[in-house]
Structure 1
Amino acid sequence: MTFANILAFDTSGPHCATALLQGDCVHGARVVEMKRGQAEALMPLLEETLAGRDLGWSDLDALAVGIGPGNFTGIRISVSAARGLALALGIPAVGVSNFEIMAHGNTARTLLVSLPAPREQVYLQLFRDGRPAGKPRLAALSDLPPDLGISSGTTVTGHLAKEIAAQTGGIAMPAALEDIPGRIARIARNRLEEHGAPTERPAPLYVRTADAAPPSDPPPVILP
């Protein structure tokens, strides 16, 4: 199956980001900064993105959505939208993490991606040859897990890369989370072409410490 038109979006941070991937070209990429209001802004932005290429919802072949980690409410907004649209349109929806966005295009053999987390902590995930090599972790900069799998040749990129590299003996490559919707779309297309439509719907990526207790309250319900 050819995935000619892929609509990508993300609300995992203080923004509403959208883009349309057609072939190898990204069109209408926008990252609108906003601390709140993503739920009201997302659908109009998606419709504007489609209208910019004279497309309608029925022209889409797939959806790509950012799943975090990031803002709890923001992630659920975009993931719920992706699930609902995929169900209504009968097309696949692919979830892409912020770790994958940061790692996309990086040619380091072994790469540790770091993202900012609450309370002066960091989210971490190791990649080998461009693919995840371990589960995402949450840790304090002053207490990094000893089993991260970092060697002296590991490249560390993202949030506090220099500080983490100094502690672990890695090589720092500071970088910011950028080109969010375009990278989400390209990663999703590559995954679809390699593996076909996913059997599971996208789900929010929440990262807890290894010894974190499960929440006592049930999680909010999102669309099936």
Structure 2
Amino acid sequence: MKVLALDTACAACSAAVLDGDAIVAERFEAMARGQTEALMPMVSAVMEDARIAFDALDLVAVTTGPGSFTGVRTGLAAARGIALGCGAPVAGVTTLEAVARRALGRLETRPPVTLVALTTGRAELYVQRFDAGGAPLDAAAAVLPETLAAALADGRLFVAGDGAERLREIVGTEAGCSFAKGPGLPHAAEVARIGAARGAAAARAGGPPQPVYLYPPRAIPPAAGRGLAP
């Protein structure tokens, strides 16, 4: 299976191509802004590196959030446009699952429970728990990090994601849990692997992926009769 995967949902932009069981091309760049401008040149680069034509793709995979409102929409729009042009289905993968699977894949011994925590740009963190195989144990939620202190005392818990450092600061070095190394952001290479494992048929049957928002957008429409504030 040939898969093109994209991620622009959080504080990075990445694209990757999977051919069979191998990632044959990938690009990743951390960035707080600018994903809209960076994505398509990155897609062109990985497709050229992989030497795969767009019409040879079997699947396009993309992160669906939670993340920034603009970033999620950027990735979904690009994935749908590419898929429409090449006739491939689109598979959606949450940012939290992508981070969980990548962190677990780097471990020799997998913990029974992994907590993924992603920053939101607000006081809360996006969090979700996953089992040793990377399957979700509960629904994603936006919570204040202080509310997780009791759970972090559990020595079986493994914490991943770019919000992990905030949790480490709260519980200190005496916490019983362990923390993943690395930036803890979604990566298109993992999105490609997850999409391929689910298969093109499942993506077609499931229909177009929908964005995952745990907050409403921050944009506030102007009051009637008033223009936008500068």
TM-score by length of 2: 0.76
Contact 1:64 1:94 in 2 (8 A): yes
Shift of 1:95: 1.3
Shift of 1:110: 1.6
The 1:21–1:165 alpha-carbon spacing in structure 2 relative to 1, beyond 3 Å, is farther
Is 1:189 matched with 2:190? no
* Candidates 153, 159, 180, aligned match of 2:187: 180
Bigger helix fraction:
2
What SS does the aligned partner of 1:187 have? helix
* Candidates 8, 11, 30, aligned match of 1:11: 8
What SS does the aligned partner of 1:143 have? helix
Partner of 2:123: 120
Shift of 1:198: 4.4
Shift of 1:33: 4.0
**Equivalent residue runs for 1:182-221 within 5 Å:** 182-192=189-199, 195=202, 197-208=204-215
Give me the whole-angstrom Cα distance separating, in 2, the residues matched to 1:145 and 1:165: 6
What SS does the aligned partner of 1:132 have? coil
Partner of 1:20: 17
Shift of 1:85: 2.3
Give me the whole-angstrom Cα distance separating, in 2, the residues matched to 1:79 and 1:71: 12
Identity percentage of aligned residues:
31
Letter of the structure 2 residue corresponding to residue 81 of structure 1: A
What SS does the aligned partner of 1:131 have? coil
What do residues 161-199 of structure 1 show as CA deviations (whole Å, max 9, x unaligned)? 435666xx7512233325711111111111227956441
TM-score by length of 1: 0.78
What SS does the aligned partner of 1:104 have? helix
Contact 2:12 2:30 in 1 (8 A): yes
Partner of 1:141: 145
* Candidates 151, 156, 159, aligned match of 2:159: 156
What do residues 93-126 of structure 1 show as CA deviations (whole Å, max 9, x unaligned)? 1111221122115222222111112223211101
Shift of 1:155: 2.5
The 1:5–1:14 alpha-carbon spacing in structure 2 relative to 1, beyond 3 Å, is same
Give me the whole-angstrom Cα distance separating, in 2, the residues matched to 1:74 and 1:101: 16
Unaligned runs of 5+ in 2: 105-109, 222-230
Letter of the structure 1 residue corresponding to residue 38 of structure 2: A
Shift of 1:10: 1.0
Partner of 1:222: none
What do residues 65-105 of structure 1 show as CA deviations (whole Å, max 9, x unaligned)? 12222221111011111122223322111111221122115
Q: Bigger shift: 194-203 or 14-23?
A: 194-203
Unaligned runs of 5+ in 1: 218-224
What SS does the aligned partner of 2:142 have? strand
Q: Bigger shift: 97-106 or 155-164?
A: 155-164
The 1:11–1:184 alpha-carbon spacing in structure 2 relative to 1, beyond 3 Å, is same
The 1:25–1:172 alpha-carbon spacing in structure 2 relative to 1, beyond 3 Å, is same
Letter of the structure 2 residue corresponding to residue 84 of structure 1: G
What SS does the aligned partner of 1:64 have? strand
The 1:37–1:116 alpha-carbon spacing in structure 2 relative to 1, beyond 3 Å, is closer
C-alpha root-mean-square deviation of aligned residues, in Å?
Answer: 3.2
Shift of 1:134: 0.9
What do residues 125-159 of structure 1 show as CA deviations (whole Å, max 9, x unaligned)? 0112320011111111223498x799553333332
Give me the whole-angstrom Cα distance separating, in 2, the residues matched to 1:24 and 1:71: 30
Contact 1:66 1:96 in 2 (8 A): yes
Give me the whole-angstrom Cα distance separating, in 2, the residues matched to 1:194 and 1:38: 29
